[in-house]
Each structure stands twice: as C-alpha cells, then as structure tokens.
Chain A
C-alpha cells in the first residue's frame, strides 16, 4: 500500500511503486484532468505539483510521491478561479484544451515564484509544455493578465 495525498485527500493505493504517478492518478485515483502526451518528459501535458514543485508525472514513480502532497489541475483552485484560470477564460486560451492542464500547472509555479514575470521568464518557465494547437501567444498574454489579477488580490 502506498499512501498518497492528492488535492488534500488521502489515498491508499495498492499499486506497483514503479508505476508513474500519472497513471496512478488517472487510472487508480480516478482524476483524469492530468494528461498523457509523450510519457518521456518531453511535452508537459502531465505536469502536477509535488510538494509545490512542478513535476512531470509521467516520469515520476509513485514511490517518489509516497506520503507527499500532490496537487493536480482539479485541485488548482476551489471554483476554477485561480488567477490563471480566470485569465485563461477571459482570453479564451485553449483550443483543443488537451495540453492546458499541464500548461496551467506549470504557469502556477511560475506565478507563485515570480509575481511579475517578463516574456523571457515566461518562455523559460513554459518551454517544457508543448501545445500542438499553437495557443502559445495567448498563454503568454494570459500569464501577464493573471499576474495583474494576482496583484489585485483576485
């Protein structure tokens, strides 16, 4: 049994400790917001927070997350109202939307660490997240927008 805390809820998982966190979250815990895109740390679709750090869950073995705090897209905010989520909605960032759980989770760490990111900061922090639909320019705008909202205390 591996104990795991996902979005502030405790789980006991009967699973192979080598199973990537991604599949444990999706197939066992049953939260499907975190996505599979490549399985080899190339695309960022699977990004979750492990003790507050952005990690690629497709290459994070369950054993490494045991007893730790995991936050997935479902736990990013209570009501879809994290400043990034508000900005994403205001600018209609997603197209197919498949990459955006990972985009948002990567951006959330950036915004926590850096309340006024420059374009360069954004490029650096978001370089690991592929968007095949090409929503990049909106992602950049929305992160700036979210930084503003965050400053206004939203």
Chain B
C-alpha cells in the first residue's frame, strides 16, 4: 500500500489552520477545522481520483479511497478510520481502498499517533465528513435526474432513486458532487442504525499481514538505494573522538564511512555511519569500525544510584504539587495510624518488533522520507527546521509500523536517515540493529513513588502521593519549575471528588538519560503505585478491596464498571485468600478494571490462571480490536512487571538484545477475558488504557494469596 497515488494537490485557501496541537506532554489534539476537512481541496490526482474532501477520494469507476491520516502500528486505525467514514458515506468496507495520508497537518490536523487519540479525537469529524460527502453525492444525483433529493437514498456506494429504482454509482457523480457547495448541519445517523460501527468487522490489514505483503518501513525499496547502519556510542551521550575505518572500508559492498551528529531532544547523539549495498555489508562495516569515544561526563550513570537518589528526594522534598484537594498533610500529621509505602518501577525499552529504520531520498531543495513513523507531521516540521528545507518539500510517507508504543513518534532515526542521504546523494535505508534500539533509548523513565495515607472508620481520610523520576517534558523544554501534570494520570479522576484530602506531587529528578513516552506513559508506572497503595489501604481498613473502591466512588458510570467486574470474575464467591487481585485505572478517556487470579506452582513460583478485563471506553468502533488491544496490553504489562528492564552501569546500558531483555513468550500469556461496557459516552482511547491496571492487579493477587507485598518492579514471578 503506497501513498504515492496521493499526488500533491493544491489546497484551496485554508483558513483557520489545524487547531491547537499543543505538544506539551503527550496530549494530542486533533485539529483540522471544518473548513479544512470538508472542502474538496482540488480536482483530480494523477490516477483520476476525485477528491471529495481530505479523507475521501472517488474514482470515476466508483472505487472509493479513504485516507488514514494516522499511523497503523497494530492498534487498528487502518480499520477504524475507514469503518467510521464508510458508515456515513454508505459504502461497503470490503470495497474501499485504504491509503496512508502523507504528513500534512494543514490538511489533516495533528497526525501524531499517540495518546490513544485517533478515534477519540477524530470520530466526530470522521462521521461528519463521511456524511457530508454522501449528501453531496445525493445532491448531484437529484440534480442529474431532476428529482427531489428526498426521493433518493445512498447505499453500498450507489445513490438510488426510490420511486424509479434508477441508480448511479458514486463514480458517476463524484465530479459533479465535488463542485457543489458543502452542505451544513448534516444529521448524523443514530447509533441504533449503524451497520458497521460497533461491529467486530475483520481488519482490512490482516490479509496483508499473513503473506508478507504488508509494506513496513524496512521493506521500502527504491531504485539505486543503498543501505546504512550507524555505530552509536554505547555510552549514553558520549562523543566521537576519532575513528579508524580502514577495516570497514575493506568489507565488500561498503561504499562510504563518515561520522555524524543527530539531535536527541535538545542534546546530541554522535555516531559513525557505514553505507553499503546491502544491510549485511553495512552491519559488517559497522562492526569493523575502530572508534575512540569521548565519554567524559556520563560515566556516573548507574541504576542503583538513580533509585537511591529518588528515594532520598522522596524523603526530603515535598516537590511541586500537581493536584490537591483538602489538606492531607494535616491529617497525616495528627494521625497515629498513618501507613506508608515506597514503590519502584524500572526504565523500559519499547523494543518494537520492527527496529528503528527510515528510508530517505535527499534531493537538494527537497527530501522524501518513507518509514515507520508515528508522527509524520512532526517529522516534517523537524526535518524542515533542522535541514533548512521548505516544509512543503519535506514529504513524509507512512508505511505500516512493526510496533510503535511511543518510540516511533521520535525524530532521531528519520533525521539520521536524511543526513546520510544528503551526504551520499542517493536514496538510503537506515536500519538500527536491535542492539542500537536497546542501548540508545529513549526509554520510559524509571520512577519511584512514596505514598502515605490514613484510614479512619474504614474510609480513607488522607491520600498523599509523591513521584520522583525523569519528567519527559524536561527533555523538550527548559521549563523545570512546573509540576508534571501527569503525576496523577491513571488515578481515577472521580476520587478527587470523593476523597476529602488528597495530593499528588512531582519531586524533580534529573539524569542525562534520554526518555520518552512508552505505551500509556506515566499511567504505566503510576497505576502500579496508586492501585497497589489503594489495596494496602483497603487491607488496613479490613475491607474487601473491590468494595473499598466502590465505597470511595460516587459516579454511576464507575459503579457500573465495578458491578460488571464483580460479576464476570465471580468476585463475591472467591475463596478467602484465593489469589484474587483487582486494580482499576483511567487514562486517555478510558477506564479499565482488571481482576487477576493466581495460584501457587508446586515447587515454587506463581501462575496466572485468569485475567478478567472490563473496559469502559464509551462510544466505540470495533469490539474485536478493543479485545485485541487489551490482550496485547496485558502481555506488554506482564513483560514490564516480570520479565525485563533497562539498567545502567557506568553510563552503559546493560541490555542489548532479547537474551538480556527477555520477552514474555507464548507460554507466559495468561487467559484473558474482555468485557465492554455499553454506553453512549464520548469515545475514549483503546491502545493504551489496558496496560496500567495489570501489574497492580497481579501483585495485589499475589498479596491475597501469599501475604507478600511486591513494591518493586520487575519481580521474578518464579521466585515468589
């Protein structure tokens, strides 16, 4: 699936450019204004497709193309976007062609595929632009037949005249329809009439992924293309002092060797590039390099030191308050029964199955990029700024992504590819080896938490949480005096209405380790601390942990979720200390509750017998995609909780490949049962919110079974 059929169209004057794509943190507001997305933006492309609006093109033969403005990395937008648009457009999904849009936020609003945002931020727009195009086609047909529009209806890619049974396929109407004024105040279908949305339809990308046909970034091929690999300093942020490339240049196929510097946030990463006629030759050349690194200043980075400093700070600093209700300090000061716990979570690599790679073709005043990229519009802006190329001449084409998890929203590897192509004057494909991926970061930050609380009369009278870990935003801005507004991400928001005294704070902590968002971002670690501590408080209160949560929540929507979780897991009938644990977290507009059931393995260790998941993501598109995302999130959470972590010794990352960064494998995947709450609330995210509750539900279950509290991740599940 290539986006090359999308020739550059001229835009009509677009007023009110893409809404606020504020990029602090990781909230991405999708923002094409209506004027942008509803206007037919030009006439025909080179294949004769007629553009109805930015997302919909119709060929005179009737073939409908729907553009995916977001990246497909497994989470299912390649399915979800067409499934939404096709509903209102009234076309058969199987007959639609899906094409990835190029990076262009003037046209599409933010294309940053992160924050589980595609559906929840775009669905209303997508419904509307499907409906708008349909209305224009109806109008065109009624004009052609000179009949009232009300006598016509749309179905399966045709406009049908009800009284006479005459019909036009969309291709026969598109040219005329696209010239009509854009209608306003279109009525959208009620949910009860949906034919596609809400159904577990088959994913459109699956057939491409069972026979090798799906084009990932690494699969891009261009005439005359060379392959590149880069030896990066194994010590974080060290510099190249000198290098000897004699041996590397002797490897057959090696064409050139040179050093280069790329930007990593506001710092630099140095390396030596080897360009060759095959990936293998480039990797061989990389291995043959003799490089002298200047490591000065970074040898001090050590994992043990990081956590002891975090712990010390949590005991000596109050930090910046991000959220506060009442006065927990006052309650804590007067109480004789305060309980307190420290939790520790590790640095993590995203370890996307497809390592970082990017294909670039630099052509002087223009550069074209193909790659597994989560944020095409960011990359476009970044490359434009860094290389001094007009933004419209930075063409970013999306491929399928072999995983993303936040890592592929970063600019480093596309930047590197562009610089290498610039130097070589031909198209090149840059591949990071797995070792590059694992030793270079950026990583999810490892964060420590100190939680303090008081239970009085069986209820929480104070809940105070402090986190200390690298703030992802500090990498992008010098503003260090603002609280991380995501310190409470994962904690159920309604608790802020029902708990009388609660506070969250960030105790500032810096190291030179590059960090970035990782699936579910802060919630991925916060959830562990906050939901573990909730369990500790319930235990202190002598209450059933699920009932304890219910008693602290007033919102009906959450009560419904808790009721559901209770019934599907048969919670009430569980045996005492039968190995059941629960956790409920919220992020990206979706609440997920999980119950984990564990048992002892004869001879030692713990086995996960079952996971029950209840998801409340409001309005949703495809229940099977949601189920898949929950299943996958749990495996990823299991890995982060029990299998792997990134550690540092003398400035070096100690893991380099899957032998030292162990992944859950098929025998580790627990049985997962997913239930969806049905309601008409706004759509929430799906790709990330299933991850945070798993680790605390697991460790709470282990506590229930064994009386042992696990407060540090990862832990060895076979040694519990």
Contacts and interface: CB of A to CB of B under 8 A. Distances in A.
Interface of A: 15-16, 19-20, 23-24, 26-28, 30-40, 42-43, 45, 72-74, 76-77, 80, 84-85, 88-89, 92-101, 104, 122-123, 126-127, 129-140
B548 interface: no
A-B residue pairs, 4 tightest by C-beta:
A33-B212, A134-B635, A98-B402, A97-B209
B384 to A, nearest CB: 28
A72 B279 CA distance: 19
Contact of B227 (A27, A40, A72, A133): A27
Contacts of A134: 631-636, 664, 669
A130 B663 contact: yes
16 contacts: A27-B279, A32-B221, A33-B212, A36-B279, A37-B354, A74-B212, A92-B624, A94-B210, A96-B73, A97-B402, A101-B212, A127-B667, A129-B665, A129-B666, A131-B666, A136-B666
Given A27-B278, A37-B353, A132-B353, A32 B666 contact: no
Given A32-B218, A33-B212, A89-B210, A140 B666 contact: yes
Contacts of B431: 36
Interface in B206-250: 206-216, 218-219, 221, 227
Task: Give the contact-size bracket for chain B.
Answer: 35 or more
Contacts of A130: 353, 658, 663, 665
Nearest to B438: A38
B434 interface: yes
Given A122-B666, A127-B666, A132-B352, A97 B400 contact: yes
B203 A132 contact: no
Given A38-B434, A92-B203, 13 more contacts: A16-B280, A23-B279, A31-B212, A35-B218, A40-B659, A89-B210, A95-B628, A97-B74, A123-B666, A131-B353, A132-B663, A134-B669, A140-B666
Contacts of A37: 353-355, 434
B403 interface: yes
Given A31-B212, A42-B658, A135 B665 contact: no
Given A72-B212, A80-B211, A39 B434 contact: yes
B667 A123 contact: yes
A131 B634 CA distance: 13
Contacts of A27: 227, 278-280
B433 interface: yes
Contacts of A137: 631, 669, 671-672
A106 to B, nearest CB: 10
Contacts of A84: 210
Given A74-B211, A134-B664, A35 B658 contact: no
Most buried by B among A45, A76, A80: A80
A103 B602 CA distance: 31
B666 A97 contact: no
A98 B669 CA distance: 19
Most buried by A among B280, B403, B404, B634: B280
B318 interface: no
B401 interface: yes
A99 B353 CA distance: 7
Contacts of A33: 211-213
A32 B628 contact: no
B351 A96 contact: no
A146 B209 CA distance: 17
Given A32-B219, A42-B658, A130-B665, A96 B278 contact: no
